[in-house]
Structure 1
Amino acid sequence: MRRAVRAAEGILAEAGVPSARHDAEALAAWCLGLPRLEWYRLPAGGADLGPALPGGTADGFLAAYAQAVERRRAREPLQRILGHAVFRHVTVEVVDDVFVPRPETETVAQVAIDEAARLRDDPARAGRPPLVVDLCCGSGVIGVSVDVEVPGTQVVAVDLSPEAVRATTANAARVGSGTQRTLVGDVTDPALLAELDGTVDVVVSNPPYIPPDAVPVDPEVRDHDPDLALYGRGADGLEVPRAVVLAAARLLRPGGLLVMEHAEVQAAAVREAATATGAFVDVRTLPDLTRRDRMVVARRGGAPDGPGPAHGRGRMDP
């Protein structure tokens, strides 16, 4: 098995897969039905592996493994082969026609989670649960993470794609998320969630934001993620993100927080869009996990519901 994994690592590295060793081991574990490949737990001679091997034999494992490695060599995303993705503390199902969640977005979720936790623990709110809206929710990983990590939070998730809404609903049920409501909706619709205007504590979003002429370089994104989840409309790709900003200005209560992912080159334009509404104060650009400027955080103007800024493990520093 070690020889097979080493050979797979070489094949994937030659194909340009950036995480060849990790993916080779993940695919081997998947073929064995294990959550991960922990070498120190495997018997030295492989004597006890028979029941776990596809077909019950080493040849069966090698055949299944070769097929999985070939799919990854062709740059099919690892998450789509495995059928799931790990995001923060949850494991969600990955299905066709829905955007695959990326680790960089975990930082966006962190800021929303910290704000929801602060509000939940604020005695001035007299036990009112935080209300979080996840716009352009995709597979639902942000809203689900908020619900799981800040129990009692009320989460409303919205996406234009019915497939994404179904995926979010299934993933919420999968992890036991009990307070999430998911619906199909267009963030560019000025009447979206009108019944919540002025009452939302956090609006968080990872919207489509790629310009039409900026085709992604990575085959995993370009060839496998749906266009609806990638391209943000308009010449600069910011039509949908600007709609998120306008929706947040309408939905958020005074003192509420907007957290939105964007492309690194869009940081100044997104800050300008938030400032231009006249609704936000303390508009900032923050880095993601790779230290690139890919997130805007802005506070809704007016008397805040409670004291103190939002914090994201120190990432609220300008």
Structure 2
Amino acid sequence: MSQAINLTAEVTDDQLGFRLDQAVAALFPDYSRSRIKEWILAGLVQIDGKVSSTPREKVFTGQLIEVNAVLKDEVTFVAQKIEIDIVYEDDDILVINKPAGLVVHPGAGNSSGTLLNALLYHYPNIAEVPRAGIVHRLDKETSGLMVVAKTVPAQTHLVTSLQARQMTREYDAIATGCFTAGGKVDAPIGRDKVHRTKMAVNHTAGKDAITHFRISEKYRAHTRLRLRLETGRTHQIRVHMMSIGHVLAGDPVYGGRPRPPKGASVEFSEALRGFRRQALHATMLRLEHPITGEEMEWHAEPPEDFKALAAALRADAIEHEKQLDF
């Protein structure tokens, strides 16, 4: 059943100068920032008795904030016994190492068998947290570190931290082509104007997106990179690398058919063609703990298929150098 809620609180000195959405989130931490924004835009939030539908409106000490909204029943997802690789856990957060092939959240074509279904099984109380505590996502075929909130206050803080770019995420990737130096891609990302299931650099309607990268290892016709995100747009690394002419190895959406370098052995060509997902792994995560404030950092080695691809590329490069010496 739907539930009517009526919330009232005064802005304190701690929220002086906050935007309305920030102040409401601080005053009523049991509700997510996305839900609060929806309420504001729907005209369900008042400041001193006057409706405000502007999330960015500034608030001041002593103002009375009122929320009159209805909590609608959300879609119920089924708990499923799916193994989770837990890197760290306490009362407030989980850090997991997601395998490639696991969808994070149910959606069209993936109503079950997701990380969310697994979280509901292992942590039944997490059903009380929006999106089962999921703060950010990784693409289905991207492996690596993710943080999950076990409580509403922890999720609210982590989402705010993510939006403020205070969370550091670094990735290990293998891209096609040869890089001469590291750099930065600063290009907005939005829906592809033709293929609506894909993303693209979009200077007219895209959202700002920044990716930093440096070289980890050079191969004959590929480069291993370490990348750091400033923003978290859908498919950001994959789109940014494509935009500078260096698609990720194996990327089934943005990469096209793999092209082994000239003179490649049959074994190496098969290894390259057999890697059928984007070579991308979330290898480092650093954040401020949402409750204790402690700075924490985790690392995760890439999975075996990624290591095998890197080893094959390395062996090919060494063999090519030997042939040049003759």
TM-score normalised by L of structure 1: 0.27
Larger radius of gyration: 2
TM-score normalised by L of structure 2: 0.26
Higher strand share: 2
